[in-house]
Amino acid sequence: MSEKVPCAILGSGNIGTDLMYKLQRSQTLEPTAVIGIDPNSDGLRRAEAAGLETSAEGVDWIVANPDKCRFVFEATSAGAHRANAPKIAAAGLQSIDLTPAKLGPGVVPAVNIEEHWEAADVNMITCGGQATIPMVAAVSEVTPVPYAEIVATIASLSAGPGTRESIDAFTRTTAKGLEEIGGAERGKAIIILNPADPPLIMRDTVFCAISPEADRDAIRASIERMRERVATYVPGYRLRGEPQFEEDRVAIFIEVEGAADYLPAYAGNLDIMTAAAVAVGEELAKLRSREQVPA
Amino acid sequence: MSQGPKVTLVDSTLRDGSHAKRHQISVEQVVAVSSALDAAGVDVIEVSHGDGLGGASFNYGFALTDEFELIEAAVGAVERAQIAVLLLPGIGVKEDLNRARELGASVVRIATHSTEADIAPSHIALARELGFKTAGFLMMAHMNTPEGLLEQAKIMEEAGAEIVYVTDSAGALTPDAVAARVAALRGGLDAGTEVGIHCHENLSLAIANSLVAVENGARWVDGCTCGLGAGAGNAPTEVLTAVFEKLGIEVNADTFAMLDVADDVVRPIMDRPQLVDRASLILGYAGVYSSFLLHAERAAERFHVSTKDILVEVGKRKAVGGQEDLIIDIAAELAAAQPAPAGA
């Protein structure tokens, strides 16, 4: 692809601003505009300084300028995205939704993006889902996983009001992702907020129920391949120690350190969302250009 | 007759005791314990997985019996007592509350870490809507200052909590620290909001701390019969009853009846005595969540490291309730750092 694909970011808060810095490094995507609703926001000021178009008109700007972007990264709130999504679709643009609105299919770049290249709206699930679903998928590629369970521990400071108000949405959405995308028959998700100071780096533990006869070497190798694949788009994605096998389960310990583009390094939970969203945009751009070669 | 305050006694043998029983509690045991506690006059009996509704998991331990079956059995076994459940947002979900209410539970404790009350308002609001008597449960209360704890308690109160607990999950509070926290809540919350106290025995202070709490205005007091609970256990309900009676603090439970429940019903189902030993004392000393004890013992055995070393390290990392997954991680690290045993 010779030309970068233009993208707009809707939402000029922490997530939108972090996303802008990541998109500026993309070889495939070109951030053209950051659109907010507060003309005095730090995010809009930073976007202007970076030479991007800015507006405080919200989704109306997108509707009025559909030629300026092909993807819209939705970094607002679930409520806002529910209102914005039909307008974005009507303008012929594709949404990559970082909110918990769950309008479109959930996507994890390392696992299932190819299935959804045509969707008008794809959803980034949850931070815990982005960190753990790949590992469940890695295990279930090798052996059946009747049950997968994850525990996500994040620094209190990195859990915004949206997460706090609807913590059930996190556990439900993540558990569903473990099943539908990770391939577990049944999934369960637990989230813990830890207020330690200095703040701790995001940690995730993945437990997969497996048969005692499962091929442990093959599982180890699959986990390692998946770690590499995720680390290509989330550089701070690491395993803590070796996977721990017990009779009928394997436990995988993950740590996600953020790239500290705009958000602090401990906020791996936010970093993995923005980094994965960029990877989704890049993949979609490639898949679409392959499928939509002009005759 | 007594002239002291009247206290609501909550027995959590069938919830906090779930930790000490590795969540292996049967319907028969629930029926026996809850009917005996009811007959002895205990006001509220809590029944849930140790980590609250939805706690059955790899991380916390799967349960022998589905907790909703246990709740239903307890509701059917009592005549006067109310059945309570525990829910930790982030582990259990709102559907669990609906289901517990349908089965007849009528008191709920919504629990968060002592600095994270703002994950609970929607659960507290739903609990009130469903008609639960609703308590906010501020766990690991030693990890927040009295003033900080009051701010968190106000969040719960505003969301609808009728009682807010100072929950000493690590058994780490000394009497002066309990007094300061209970007094802060009592002084800062509305007069109509009750204050509760939940103590662990890790520093052998559970009864003393419960008394100090009552002196400072707490009116909901938690115990577990025979102390059966996480870590070194909880304030033994039968001891609370006896001490309260001697001090003229009014409780509905009868001391002699409680002694029979303790020795005849609960002690026979205990897997081991509740001891303040090296490991459980460390919980209180280092400020570690009491239910980590058995998980740390298991990990210590598996990785050939000491339980004490694991718990000290957990304390250093400022783990909060629910982070049981950290224990295997730390045990593996400690094992990797020590020389391989001969012949290995």
Question: Which of A188, A193, A196 has its CB closest to that of B318?
Answer: A196
Give the residues across from B338 on adjacent strands. Answer: none
Partners of residue B59 in chain A, C-beta under 8 Å: 149, 151, 190, 205, 207
- Looking at residue A214, what DSSP letter applies? S
Question: Which of B90, B122, B322 has its CB closest to that of A171?
Answer: B90
Give the residue from A7, A1, A17, A137 showing the smallest Cα distance to A72.
Answer: A7
Interface residue of B119, B289, B303 to substitute, partner A, most A CBs within 10 Å: B119
How many Å lie between the alpha carbon of A235 and the closest alpha carbon of chain B? 22
Please answer yes or no on whether B320 and A195 come within 8 Å at the CB atom: yes
Pairing of strands A186-194, A202-209: unpaired
pLDDT for position A166: 87
Give the C-alpha separation, A29 to B31, whole Å: 64
pLDDT for position B344: 44
Please list, in sequence order, all residues whose beta carbon lies within 8 angstroms of the beta carbon of residue A36, skipping any fewer than 6 positions away: A11, A12, A13, A16, A43, A44, A54, A55, A56, A58
pLDDT score of B339 more than 80: no
What digits encode the pLDDT tens for the residues A222-247?
Answer: 999 999 999 999 999 999 999 999 99
Please list, in sequence order, all residues whose beta carbon lies within 8 angstroms of the beta carbon of residue A118, skipping any fewer than 6 positions away: none
Classified as helix, coil or strand, B283 is helix
How many Å lie between the alpha carbon of B31 and the closest alpha carbon of chain A? 29
Backbone angles phi, psi at A153, to 5 degrees: -115, 120
Walk across the sheet containing A5-10 and list its strands: A53-55, A29-35, A5-10, A71-74, A94-97, A121-123
Cα separations in angstroms, A195 against A257, B119, B138 = 17, 13, 14
For B335, name the nearest residue in chain A, comparing CA atoms only: A241
Residue where the block lists tokens 């007594």:
B2
Largest CA distance in chain B: 70
What digits encode the pLDDT tens for the residues B16-61?
Answer: 999 999 999 999 999 999 999 999 999 999 999 999 999 999 999 9
Sign of the torsion formed by the C-alpha atoms of A127, A132, A137 and A140: negative
Partners of residue B57 in chain A, C-beta under 8 Å: 149, 188, 190
pLDDT for position A163: 87
pLDDT for position A291: 66
How many Å lie between the alpha carbon of A145 and the closest alpha carbon of chain B? 14
Question: Which of A167, A188, A192 has its CB closest to that of B57?
Answer: A188
Give the C-alpha separation, B199 to B176, whole Å: 14
Question: Which of A167, A205, A241 has its CB closest to that of B333?
Answer: A241
What digits encode the pLDDT tens for the residues B145-160?
Answer: 999 999 999 999 999 9
How many Å lie between the alpha carbon of B251 and the closest alpha carbon of chain A? 36
Q: Helices (H), strands (E): how many in chain A? A: 9, 12
Residues in chain B whose Cβ is within 8 Å of chain A: 57-59, 89-91, 93-94, 113, 115-116, 118-119, 121-122, 143, 317-326, 328-329, 332-333, 336
Q: What is the Cα gyration radius of chain B? A: 19
Residue A207 near chain B (CB below 8 Å): yes
- Looking at residue A185, what DSSP letter applies? S
Report the length, in residues, of chain A: 295
For B59, name the nearest residue in chain A, comparing CA atoms only: A151
Pairing of strands A237-239, A249-256: antiparallel
Average pLDDT, rounded, for chain B? 96
Is B19 a catalytic site residue?
A: yes
Partners of residue A195 in chain B, C-beta under 8 Å: 113, 115-116, 143, 320
pLDDT for position A1: 45
Give the C-alpha separation, A267 to A263, whole Å: 7
Residue A267: how many other CB atoms lie within 10 Å: 26
Classified as helix, coil or strand, A205 is strand
pLDDT for position A288: 83
pTM: 0.95
Classified as helix, coil or strand, B174 is coil
For B115, name the nearest residue in chain A, comparing CA atoms only: A195
Tell me the percentage of chain B whose pLDDT exceeds 70: 98
How many Å lie between the alpha carbon of B268 and the closest alpha carbon of chain A? 31
pLDDT for position A292: 61
Least confident of A2-16, A128-142, A221-235, B38-52: A2-16
How many Å lie between the alpha carbon of A117 and the closest alpha carbon of chain B? 32
- Of A2 and B202, the one with more pLDDT: B202
What digits encode the pLDDT tens for the residues B246-296?
Answer: 999 999 999 999 999 999 999 999 999 999 999 999 999 999 999 999 999
In the numeric block, which tokens belong to residue B245?
Answer: 């009676």
Please answer yes or no on whether B318 and A166 come within 8 Å at the CB atom: no
Largest CA distance in chain A: 60
Give the C-alpha separation, A284 to A289, whole Å: 8
Partners of residue B319 in chain A, C-beta under 8 Å: 194
Backbone angles phi, psi at B312, to 5 degrees: -60, -40
In the numeric block, which tokens belong to residue A48?
Answer: 């202007």
Give the residue from B98, B6, B22, B115 showing the smallest Cα distance to B62.
Answer: B22
| Cβ atoms of residues B243 and B218 within 8 Å | no
Average pLDDT, rounded, for chain A? 94
Catalytically active residues of A are 127
Give the C-alpha separation, B107 to B83, whole Å: 6
Give the C-alpha separation, A53 to A75, whole Å: 17
Question: Which of B122, B323, B328 has its CB closest to that of A165?
Answer: B122
Give the residue from A35, A97, A23 showing the smallest Cα distance to A64.
Answer: A35
Partners of residue B93 in chain A, C-beta under 8 Å: 168, 171-172
Question: Which of A168, A196, A241 has its CB closest to that of B94?
Answer: A168
The helix (run of H) or strand (run of E) holding residue A82 is helix A78-90
Interface residue of A135, A156, A167 to substitute, partner B, most B CBs within 10 Å: A167
Give the residues across from A187 on adjacent strands. Answer: A148
